[in-house]
Amino acid sequence: QKEVEQDPGPLSVPEGAIVSLNCTYSNSAFQYFMWYRQYSRKGPELLMYTYSSGNKEDGRFTAQVDKSSKYISLFIRDSQPSDSATYLCAVDRLAFGKGNQVVVIP
């Protein structure tokens, strides 16, 4: 079983919609949960990280962790065309999901 599972399917949404992304992880010992954004031909950049169960907000972005079900989510409100990128979840900095390519259509 992979440490982090992220359904890699692409996602197209109209501008202004809410984008919802999620991952599951296998090891309850994982402590840190990250979301990275990766633009084409660039390295990943850290969007948010959380340490505990619950929600963390940063502007239009909300990261959610449910340790009881080993489930992490990222929500993007009022999505913009500039949000079009691949979003990667990661645990403890070492294990990444496959990524979701998000396209926000103007």
Partner 1 sequence: ETGVTQSPTHLIKTRGQQVTLRCSSQSGHNTVSWYQQALGQGPQFIFQYYREEENGRGNFPPRFSGLQFPNYSSELNVNALELDDSALYLCASSSKLAGGTDTQYFGPGTRLTVL
To the nearest whole angstrom, how small is the minimum distance from the Cβ of residue 48 to partner 1? 11
What are the φ/ψ torsions at residue 82 (nearest 5 degrees)? Answer: -70, -10
Selected binder of partner 1 within 19, 25, 91, 97 (CB under 8 A):
97
CA distance 12 to 33: 25
Q: Scanning residues 33 to 72, which ones bind partner 1 (CB under 8 A)?
A: 36, 41-46, 49, 51
To the nearest whole angstrom, how small is the minimum distance from the Cβ of residue 66 to partner 1? 19
CA distance 21 to 27: 20
Rule CB under 8 A: is residue 104 a binding residue for partner 1?
Answer: no
